[in-house]
Amino acid sequence: MKFICDGLVLSDAAVTVSKACSTKTTTPVLECIKIGAQNDVVTLLAYDGEISIEKKIKADVLEEGEICVNGRFFSDFIGKVSGMNVVISTGDKGLEIRYEDSESFMQALPASEFPSIKGEAGEEYFEVKEAALKALISKTVFCCATDESRPILKGCLLETEGGKLHATALDGYRMAVSQCEAAGGNGNVKIVCPARTLTEISRMLEGGDETLKIYVAKNMLFVSVDDTVLTSRLYTGEFVNKSNIFPPAFSTQFCVSRAELIESVERASVLIRGDKNNLIIFEVKGGNILITANSEIGNVSECVKGEMSGKELKIAMNGKFMLDALKALDEDKVKLSFNTPIAPFTLENKDSQESSYLILPVRTTA
């Protein structure tokens, strides 16, 4: 194999594909990018057992062939020569990289060791605007679980119904529910997509008004953006029923400036940095929220004015969870809804209910 291409184009492709290289594996080839050259097109492919990413770029192919090289090292190295034309070839030492008057070598593995990827698009699909999907992912994916205790919670439930795409994510301590307009499809789709897959799809999107078609088949997801194709496994099993979690009514509601509340919680969070629960306390009383935080470093006590209805309340919570939800909302005013100091509470925009966040309070001995 031998080809010549622009270093910047190759670097961008390598960085994109390397996101699917495995970092925890006993199979070395899963840490690799498979590079293939044929008919003036170079194909880069990586697969970690869950996600595969393939990207094609134009190149001057002098000799067709394919080989596997460690993805992290290759993408990092090519990034350092991105301002030059590079010549990539195979030789006795493995992969040869020539640039200007220099050359380097990397160990390589035979392409025959790379697993076969079956990523054919199925008949079932749904369509959504790129900007809408990118926003939906950013509003929900941070609530997905990161541990292995309940693997299905590492994914986000996506459902199409009534011309809407609904997303639900939770980790056992908080939950995000959001929706956007669906641009089309051939039926109602219900899948649990890995959070990591959604993050990589979001990175692929420009966020414009173009319509993206996402195919689903046999617990697999298939999406193509320009010259990049992503294929991912989907999680199987029963996802949590969100209707059983959100309280049907609330005894206390408080409307407040989102910016003011973010600033106050951020200041309170400074002194509890490193605390296990990031504990802050809200005392809702008389049209104000008194926000307090205490640690060995010091204490904070601030008052934020707003509009209150219902009973007075004092509740403790994880400050990081509160900030994540506040920053995901996008209106000037937000609404906080409470019941008791030990019951879950919710956050949402004051006017639009497209996104809602539910957070479990922290029980205190005080």
Q: What is the mean pLDDT of residues 223-233?
A: 93
Q: Which amino acid is at 49?
A: G
| Token output for 313 | 């309340």
More confident residue, 271 or 232: 232
CB 128 within 8 A of CB 211: yes
More confident residue, 211 or 364: 211
Q: What is the pLDDT of residue 363?
A: 87
Q: What is the mean pLDDT of residues 45-50?
A: 93
Its pTM stands at: 0.90
Q: Is 100 left (phi over 0), alpha (psi -120 to 50) or beta?
A: left
Domain spans of the chain?
Answer: 2-113, 124-243, 248-359
Q: What is the pLDDT of residue 120?
A: 65
Alpha-carbon span 155 to 142, nearest angstrom: 10
Q: What is the pLDDT of residue 62?
A: 96
What percentage of the chain carries pLDDT values higher than 90?
A: 78
Task: Name the CATH superfamily, with its identifier, for domain 124-243.
Answer: DNA Polymerase III, subunit A, domain 2 (3.10.150.10)
Q: What is the pLDDT of residue 330?
A: 92
Distances (CA, A) of 347 to 54, 151, 322: 39, 26, 9
pLDDT band for position 117 (50/70/90)? Answer: confident
Q: Is pLDDT at 21 greater than 90 in this prediction? A: yes
pLDDT band for position 277 (50/70/90)? Answer: confident
Alpha-carbon span 125 to 312, nearest angstrom: 48
| Token output for 94 | 């493995």
Distances (CA, A) of 244 to 77, 105, 155, 240, 248: 51, 58, 19, 8, 9
Each residue's pLDDT tens digit, 306-330: 999 999 999 999 999 999 999 999 9
> Which CATH number is 2-113's, of 3.90.870.10, 3.60.130.10, 3.30.1960.10, 3.10.150.10?
3.10.150.10
Does CATH place domain 248-359 in 3.40.190.10? no
Alpha-carbon span 181 to 164, nearest angstrom: 5
Same fold across 124-243 and 248-359: yes
pLDDT band for position 260 (50/70/90)? Answer: very high
Q: Which amino acid is at 77?
A: F
Q: What is the pLDDT of residue 218?
A: 81
Contacts with 242 (C-beta within 8 Å, 6 or more apart), sequence order: 168, 170, 175, 177
Q: What is the mean pLDDT of residues 202-219?
A: 90
Q: Is pLDDT at 265 greater than 90 in this prediction? A: yes
Q: Is pLDDT at 1 greater than 60 in this prediction? A: yes
∠ Cα 44 70 45 (to 5°): 20
What percentage of the chain carries pLDDT values higher than 70?
A: 98
CB 74 within 8 A of CB 57: no
Q: Is pLDDT at 276 greater than 80 in this prediction? A: no
Q: What is the mean pLDDT of residues 55-71?
A: 96
Alpha-carbon span 9 to 41, nearest angstrom: 12
Q: What are phi and psi of 50, to 5 degrees?
A: -125, -45
Each residue's pLDDT tens digit, 70-114: 999 999 999 999 889 999 999 888 999 999 989 999 999 999 999
Q: What is the pLDDT of residue 22?
A: 92
Q: What is the pLDDT of residue 303?
A: 95
Mean pLDDT, the chain, rounded, equals 92
Instruction: Quickly count: other Cβ atoms within 10 Å of residue 275's Cβ.
Output: 18
Q: Is pLDDT at 257 greater than 70 in this prediction? A: yes
